[in-house]
């Protein structure tokens, strides 16, 4: 499946798309109503491009369907239930049939395969076991793959390190920030990569950077691979990096990806950055069509060095929730942070002010001064401002103004920094 | 011999300089010399004080960003051309000045000049060999 001829795969995708659209229309009142509202018939889907006729499904739609409104099968066919944390609102629930769990196990097993997995390997799984899909997703995959899973779940770092040294797992699975933490804790205990036997790590469930990858790889002596997934679709394994570490291979036989402009909602061409939209082609418990992930990425088609022909998605660079459009260019706080970090390791607090004094957007970055960037010379401070502005400009491709402000002077809300203040008036 | 100046980052808004100075004086620290470099959005408050450690701690506790840097404090004749003769010495050796501030000392007939140069060691040696009246911490405390 992973190395199949792309044209053949398209045929398979279309066949599956038609099937899932029919299932959704017939069995899920939400889709039935949505299709009827715009006069869309199941038979109207005759090519992969026709998918664009189908309305989007949003996170809010799924919340409104809480808990089981989206389920397409009778209760006796549901085998497992997971849910998102619900930190940003009502939780979204996903119900899996036996077949869905098989699909999930299959894609997760492929991720283990990409991470150089062998049947004799042990996998230290530190994703949380519970409603969260991380722990069980890897667990299902490890079983399907035939490797041994050590179901550590998250937390208890001391014990994690003990098991890591004594059980000699070959693959580590957790969030990138926990991998980093484990690496640091290992060092603190007086050990290093030579004392453990990990060869790869499969890290996901949060945004991370190339700089972080390098540091994790050094600290643990491994190749660190990026995994992507979301509860609404299935869980981890929707896409995963191979050892080339050059984009995550989307499991296209099960998920159909599109990239859209989050403002115009138009589908963008290959290579353009925008919001990822996913359609589940094979899931039966809860068929989801054109789900707006809010994650920003781009797609790269073509055969990978590893031999796989599946489309790759680039590292997630932001969420459309915190995306700004400035002079027509998409800008994310994470890019500004990256620009700042290149100048000052201490990662100063900052705030982005967007204004439109006349007809053109202006971008001002207020940076709280740190001992690292302060100087007693005005000239040096001016140069520092220029350096920061240049570094940020390089990241976002727009000219910015940088203002240095006193520490603690930027407003915070409930301890969390307020990153963006958009004062543009669009009335 | 080294004299260290305390520099403080202050925003160009009302009361900021006053707040910094207030905090220092509350601790009974005496300011011997002061200058403000002003930019469009912020300024740098530069201070020569009697107790650097205490000053630093006090200001940092109040959230100020503080830096200590080596400066040359020197006594020159309080008369026309007094400063020029000093500058000529430095210029002769191509030592660039970053900034200068000066004040008259009432106790003697000298004026006191604070200078920040690019090359501190070189400037110090040069001035010493020219018998310049370089101040140390004790001299500053007696100002």
Q: How far is Cα A276 from Cα A192, in angstroms, rounded to an integer?
A: 38
- Quote the pLDDT of residue A144: 97
Residue A338's pLDDT band (boundaries 50, 70, 90)?
A: confident
Q: Compute the Cα dihedral for A338, A343, A345, A346 and give only its sign.
A: negative
Alpha-carbon distances, residue A13 vs A226, A232, A234, A268, B113 (angstroms): 25, 20, 17, 19, 81
| Size of the A and B interface in Cβ pairs below 8 Å | 52
Residue A256 falls in which region: left (phi positive, over 0), alpha (psi -120 to 50) or beta: beta
Assign B72 a pLDDT band (cuts: 50, 70, 90). Answer: very high
Angle at A146 between CA A141 and CA A150, to 5 degrees: 70
Sole residue written with tokens 């997703």: A137
A369 chain-B contacts, CB cut-off 8 A? 9, 65
User: Which residues, other chains included, contact B22 with Cβ-Cβ below 8 Å and sequence gap of 6+?
Assistant: none
Q: Do B67 and A379 touch (CB under 8 A)?
A: no
Q: Which is higher by pLDDT, A122 or B136? A: A122
pLDDT of B70 reads 92
A3-32 b/e (C-beta count within 10 Å ≥ 16 → b): eeeeeebeeebbebbbebbebbbebbebbe
| Residue A264 CB neighbour total at 10 angstroms | 9
Per-residue pLDDT averaged across A73-97, rounded? 88
Which of B63, B109, B61, B64 is CA-nearest to residue B47?
B64
Banded model confidence at residue A325, pLDDT cuts 50, 70, 90: confident
Residue A272 confidence (pLDDT) above 90 = yes
CB contact under 8 A, B11 and A378: no
Q: Region A185-202: what's the mean pLDDT?
A: 95
Whole-number pLDDT of residue B1:
55
- What is the average per-residue pLDDT within A224-243? 96
A248: pLDDT strictly greater than 80: yes
Q: Give the per-residue pLDDT at A258.
A: 98
Asked if the C-beta of B10 comes within 8 angstroms of chain A's C-beta atoms, the answer is yes
Task: With cut-offs at 50, 70 and 90, classify the pLDDT of residue A86.
Answer: low
CA nearest neighbour of B45 among B14, B98, B5, B3: B5
pLDDT in tens, A102-151: 999 999 999 999 999 999 999 999 999 999 999 999 999 999 999 999 99
**B118 at the A interface (CB within 8 A)?**
no
What average pLDDT score do residues A288-310 get? 95
Count Cβ neighbours within 10 Å for each residue of B4-28 and write b for 16 or more, e otherwise.
Answer: bbbbbbbbeeeebbeebbebbeeee
Q: How far is CA A372 from the centre of its chain?
A: 33
Of residues B11 and A115, more confidently modeled: A115
- Is pLDDT of B104 > 60? yes
Q: Is the pLDDT of residue A88 over 70?
A: no
The DSSP code sequence of A145-191 is: HTPEEE---S--HHHHHHHHHHT--SEEEE-HHHHHHHHHHHHHTT-
pLDDT at A413: 57
Beta carbons of A412 and B104 less than 8 angstroms apart: no
Residue of B nearest to A407 (CA): B63
Cβ <8 Å between A409 and B39: no
Residues on chain B touching A375 (C-beta within 8 angstroms):
7, 67
Q: What percent of chain A has pLDDT over 70?
A: 96
pTM for this predicted structure:
0.71
State the complex-level ipTM. Answer: 0.87
Long-range contacts of B77-85 (CB under 8 A, 24+ apart): B77/B109, B77/B110, B77/B111, B78/B104, B78/B105, B78/B109, B78/B110, B78/B111, B82/B111, B83/B111, B83/B113
Mean pLDDT value of segment B37-48? 90
Predicted pLDDT of residue A414:
52
Percent of the residues in chain A that have a pLDDT greater than 90, as a whole number: 75
Q: Give the tokens for residue B122.
A: 């070189």
A411 Cβ under 8 Å from any chain B Cβ? no
**Which of B10, B37, B67 minimises the CB distance to A378?**
B37
A32-46 residue pLDDT tens: 999 999 999 999 999
CB-closest option in A371, A405, A408 to B67: A371
**Spacing of C-alpha A381 from chain mean position:** 37
Q: Is the pLDDT of residue A167 over 90?
A: yes
Average pLDDT of the segment spanning B103-115: 83
Closest residue in chain B to residue A402, using alpha carbons only: B41
A24 pLDDT tier (thresholds 50, 70, 90): very high
Mean pLDDT computed over A255-274: 94
Convert the pLDDT of each residue in A401-424 to its tens digit: 999 998 878 876 555 567 888 888
Please state the rounded mean pLDDT for residues A191-210: 92
Mean pLDDT of B45-70: 93
Out of A374, A404, A405, whose CB is closest to B67? A374
Mean pLDDT of A350-368: 90
């Amino acid at each position: 499946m992973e190395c199949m001829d792309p044209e053949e795969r398209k045929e398979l995708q279309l066949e599956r798309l038609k099937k899932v659209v029919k299932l959704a229309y017939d069995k899920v009142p939400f889709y039935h109503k949505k299709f009827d509202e715009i006069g869309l018939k199941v038979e109207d889907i005759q090519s992969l491009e026709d998918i664009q006729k189908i309305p989007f499904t949003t996170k809010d739609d799924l919340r409104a369907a809480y808990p089981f409104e989206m389920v397409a099968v009778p209760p006796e066919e549901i085998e497992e239930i997971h849910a998102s944390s619900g930190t940003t609102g009502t939780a979204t629930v996903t119900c899996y049939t036996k077949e869905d769990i098989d699909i999930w196990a299959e894609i997760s097993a492929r991720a283990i395969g990409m991470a150089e997995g062998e049947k004799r390997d042990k996998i230290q799984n530190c994703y949380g076991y519970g409603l969260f899909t991380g722990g069980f997703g890897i667990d299902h995959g490890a079983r399907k793959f035939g490797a041994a899973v050590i179901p550590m779940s998250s937390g208890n770092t001391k014990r994690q390190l003990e098991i890591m040294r004594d059980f000699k797992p070959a693959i580590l699975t957790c969030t990138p920030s926990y991998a980093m933490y484990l690496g640091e804790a290992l060092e603190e205990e007086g050990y290093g990569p030579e004392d453990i036997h990990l060869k790869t790590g499969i890290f996901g469930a949060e945004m991370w950077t190339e700089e972080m990858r390098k540091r994790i790889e050094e600290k643990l002596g491994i190749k660190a691979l990026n995994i992507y997934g979301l509860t609404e679709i299935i869980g981890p394994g929707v896409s995963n990096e191979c050892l080339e570490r050059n984009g995550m291979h989307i499991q296209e036989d099960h998920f159909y990806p599109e990239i859209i402009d989050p403002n115009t909602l138009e589908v963008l061409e290959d290579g353009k950055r925008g919001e990822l939209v996913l359609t589940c082609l094979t899931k039966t418990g809860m068929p989801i069509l054109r789900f707006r992930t809010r994650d920003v990425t781009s797609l790269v088609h073509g055969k990978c060095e590893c031999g796989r022909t599946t489309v790759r998605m680039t590292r997630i660079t932001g969420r459309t929730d915190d995306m700004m459009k400035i002079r027509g260019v998409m800008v994310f706080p994470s890019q500004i942070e990256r620009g700042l970090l290149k100048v000052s390791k201490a990662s100063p607090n900052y705030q982005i002010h967007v204004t439109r004094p006349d007809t053109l957007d202006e971008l001002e970055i207020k940076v709280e001064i740190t001992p690292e960037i302060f100087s007693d010379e005005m000239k040096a401070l001016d140069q520092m401002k220029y350096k920061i502005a240049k570094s940020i400009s390089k990241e976002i491709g727009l000219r910015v103004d940088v203002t240095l402000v006193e520490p603690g002077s930027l407003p915070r809300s409930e301890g969390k920094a307020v990153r963006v203040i958009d004062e543009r008036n669009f009335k | 011999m080294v004299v260290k100046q305390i520099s403080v980052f202050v925003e160009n808004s009302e009361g900021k300089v006053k707040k910094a100075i207030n905090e220092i004086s509350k601790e009974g620290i005496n300011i011997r010399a002061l200058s403000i470099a002003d930019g469009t959005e912020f300024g740098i408050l530069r201070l020569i004080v009697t107790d650097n450690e205490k000053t630093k701690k006090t200001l940092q506790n109040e959230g100020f960003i503080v830096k200590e840097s080596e400066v040359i404090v020197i006594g020159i004749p309080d008369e026309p051309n007094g400063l020029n003769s000093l500058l000529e010495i430095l210029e002769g050796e191509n030592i660039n000045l970053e900034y200068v501030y000066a004040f008259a000392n009432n106790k003697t007939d000298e004026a006191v000049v604070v200078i920040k140069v690019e090359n501190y060691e070189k400037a110090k040696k040069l001035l010493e060999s020219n018998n310049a009246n370089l101040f140390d911490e004790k001299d500053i405390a007696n100002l």
